[in-house]
Amino acid sequence: MSKLTSLGYMQCEDMQGFSAIAGPYYEKLESGIITRALEITEQHLNPQGVVHGGVSLAMMDFVIYRAIGDELSHDKQFATIQLNTNFLAAIKLGDIVYGRGSIQRSTRSVIFAEGELYTADRSTMKGSGIWKVLGGK
């Protein structure tokens, strides 16, 4: 059983493709705010024994993408066209990384959003970006 399950987190549903491989991601709704989380295992580490930068980047994209869906609709389709990030601290084996995202501004064709990843004691990454609203659903 995951540490996250014991903390009241539920594994995210509908994980397909790369998100299913990069995770597993969890989420929890508390006081109207959804927090996503990832428990760091050996599969997330680089050869130096800390989390691979690509894991943090993938989680940041996932956290913001899901936050956009939470606000606008998970039926709406959109794609990342720009993601700017700053690495702030290393993440280690056994850490739980939490993430939250939010929309800053939205138009009919693009969405501007930002997010943060953090552990229990430090911020590990901040990010912002632009998502293109796609046709379809």
- How confident is the model over 1-36, as pLDDT tens digits? 688 999 999 998 877 888 888 889 999 999 889 999
- How confident is the model over 85-123, as pLDDT tens digits? 999 999 999 999 999 999 999 999 999 999 999 999 999
Tell me the percentage of the chain whose pLDDT exceeds 90: 81
| Residue 137: per-residue pLDDT | 47
Q: What is the mean pLDDT of the chain?
A: 93
Is 86:100 a contact under the CB 8 Å cutoff? Answer: no
Return the closest-CA partner of residue 64 out of 44, 45, 79: 79
Is 110:131 a contact under the CB 8 Å cutoff? Answer: yes
